[in-house]
Structure formats: structure tokens, C-alpha cells
Structure 1
Amino acid sequence: MSPEISLDLRREQHAQETGVVPILLVKLWHPDLDPPYYISSDPTQRVREDEERVYYGTISNGQEYAYYPMTAKLPDSKRDASPRATISVHAMPEIIEQLHLLPMLYMDWKQVTSLDLDRVERVWPSMKLTGVEYDQTRITGNLVVDMLSGEELPFWSYTPSTAPGVFR
């Protein structure tokens, strides 16, 4: 079952020529990372500047997302497997140095369009970044949804498959 999207987005997706751009907004976070990093796939506007450089990004719902070039394969919706996505973000070396020290990362994805930056079309929350590879300018990894995090407490139950010694 596909998620619902707005009529405006459907109309723009089916139009022959359009100026509307889908934008991926990513929150890169970890409990030990304060503050989290907010990343945009599109240099929508100039958000700030200092003496050294000009910063582009996207402002959505009052949050500033910094633009970093990225490639992403969005999650599929197969019934027999957990949703998986891959992402590669070209980031600044000082960000990579800080993230490299963390054992695991999480990402929240939102999709908006240039038509209305405050209207969130789709959301993929709390995806765990696994298989992370770092080099001097890029972070690459696979994103998966941790299915146990959505379970009611207690999420671990004693069944013959998880604790066979109990059922002898």
C-alpha cells in the first residue's frame, strides 16, 4: 500500500513540464550527538553567509537544513522485507570526523516540494544507518527500520524459536 500524497504533488508529477522539485530533508541524529545535523538535497535558497563562504539550503517549518550533495535510493514497500534505503552524503570533513566516533547513527527523512516547503509529503522516521563507510568527503550507508522499536513492551517474548530451552 502506497502512502497518501497530496493532489498538488500528484498533479506536478504527472505534468509534462514543471518547475516543482521534490526535496529530501534529512535529520542525522544520535543520542550522544547534540545538536543533530539537518541536511537538504536541494540548494533552495541562500540561508546565511560569513566571511569564508555562502551557505545554501532549505528552510522548512522553521528548521534550517544545510545543503550537501547527496544521492539516495528511497525505501521500497515490499511486504516480505524491512524497508531499505541507501544514502551517500558529501559532507564537510569536520562533520565526518565527529560522526565517525559514534557507533551508530539514525536518520529521519521527510519529502517536501519546492511548491510548498512547509507541507511534508512523506515521512520515513527513525531509520538506522548501517554498513556506514566514511572517506574524507563522503558518508555512505544503508538505512533500515528497526522493527523492534515499533513493538509494544515487552518486545521480547519467550517462544519456542527464541528460547527453545524453556519449552523442553
Structure 2
Amino acid sequence: MALSPRTTTAMMAQDTADRDVVLITMTHESWTEPVRLSTDATEWLHNDEDTGEPIMGTVSRGEQYLFVPINASLPTSSDESPPEGKVSFANVGRMVTPYLKMVDEAYPRITLEFVNAETPDEVEVCWPEMELGSAEWDASMADVTIINNIASSEPMPWLRFVPAYFPNLFD
């Protein structure tokens, strides 16, 4: 996917006010709605109903992504395991953990999207349907491992060992 001219110019500039925003969407079959998080407090969304504090985030394509401080590490590259990245969410107001506690043995699916803060409706890069490999949390942080493990959901081998396909196995 080619980057927009605005993002390309910002990447090549020595100094720029443009900034990239990562939008994270987590979905699970047992949740009533997806969890949408942003790495940037782009704009004021609304005030918290209980405390009256302002809730910041990013609006992209009509959806509100709540700002949460996030630390991320790049995916590893190993022959023994699929690439995986680690993301640490500051558990501000315990926004993330209630959803993670509702998960059974099937972890949520995650979509990562990069947008420019000035043009949040234009998705620059998207990694859809990644898997949440594992999750750990406490009162202050939620650490999750994200894997792009397409091969793990594919049947292996794709053929069944039956006499019609492999007659010599059954002699």
C-alpha cells in the first residue's frame, strides 16, 4: 500500500508538525461492541460522565478511538515461531482489562491502522485480523502479545490420508 503524499513528505522532512497515529481495534464474539484505542490525543471527544474529566482521542471514519498511552515493541523475527509484537497499554480508568477478563479461550482479533493526525479518515497502512496471543494485566498496565499467525488457523495437511489419495499407505 502506497503512502499518501502528505505522509511521505512528513517522513522525509527534517522537522514537521505532522504525526502518525496508530488506531487499534479489538473485537471478540462475546463483546457487544469493539474496543477502539488511539495512540494520540488528537481531539476532545467528550467529558467523562462520572468525573467530568475530558476524554481525548481520535475520530476516524465516524468512529471514536479513545486515547490510551501505549508502548509497543516491534515484532521479532525467528524461524521457530511466528512474528510477534508486544504492546503495553496504560490501564487508564481500567478501560482495557474489563474486556480482557470477558475473554474465554479464544482471544480477540486486532486490527492495526496507521493514519496521519491531520487526515485521520485516510488509512495509510492497515494490518487486519491479527491475533491477540496472550494478555497479562494489573491495576496499572495491560500487556498483550500480538501475532500474525495465519498459518496456525489453516488445516495441516490439507489432504486427508485416505486410500483414494494415498493407496500405497494402505497396502
TM-score (norm 1): 0.80
CA RMSD of aligned residues (A): 2.9
Judge conservation of contact 2:58–2:65 (CA < 8 Å) in 1.
yes
Shift of 1:132: 1.3
Please name the residue that 1:73 is paired with.
73
| 1:132 paired to 2:135 | yes
Judge conservation of contact 1:26–1:110 (CA < 8 Å) in 2.
yes
| 1:141 paired to 2:144 | yes
Shift of 1:146: 3.0
Is the alpha carbon distance of 1:16 and 1:56 closer, same or farther for their aligned partners in structure 2, counting shifts above 3 Å? same
Q: How does 1:16-95 map to 2 (within 5 A)?
A: 16-50=14-48, 52=51, 53-75=53-75, 82-91=82-91, 92-93=93-94, 95=96
Judge conservation of contact 1:100–1:134 (CA < 8 Å) in 2.
no
- Bigger shift: residues 13-22 or 49-58: 49-58
Judge conservation of contact 1:23–1:41 (CA < 8 Å) in 2.
yes
Write the letter of the residue equivalent to 1:6.
S
Write the letter of the residue equivalent to 1:158.
L
Question: Matched residues in 1 for 2:3 and 2:95: separation?
Answer: 37
Please name the residue that 1:163 is paired with.
none
Write the letter of the residue equivalent to 1:96.
T
Question: Matched residues in 2 for 1:167 and 1:102: separation?
Answer: 43
Local SS of the residue matching 1:141: strand
Q: How does 1:1-12 map to 2 (within 5 A)?
A: 3-12=1-10
Shift of 1:115: 2.7
Gaps of 5+ in 1: 161-165
Write the letter of the residue equivalent to 1:24.
V
Write the letter of the residue equivalent to 2:138.
D
Question: Matched residues in 2 for 1:60 and 1:75: separation?
Answer: 26
Identity of matched residues, %: 24
Shift of 1:159: 6.8
Is the alpha carbon distance of 1:122 and 1:74 closer, same or farther for their aligned partners in structure 2, counting shifts above 3 Å? farther
Local SS of the residue matching 1:118: strand
Deviation string, structure 1 residues 119-143 (Cα, Å, up to 9, x no partner): 1000011111112111112211211
Gaps of 5+ in 2: 162-167
Shift of 1:79: 10
Is the alpha carbon distance of 1:139 and 1:62 closer, same or farther for their aligned partners in structure 2, counting shifts above 3 Å? same
Is the alpha carbon distance of 1:149 and 1:119 closer, same or farther for their aligned partners in structure 2, counting shifts above 3 Å? farther
Write the letter of the residue equivalent to 1:109.
L
TM-score (norm 2): 0.79
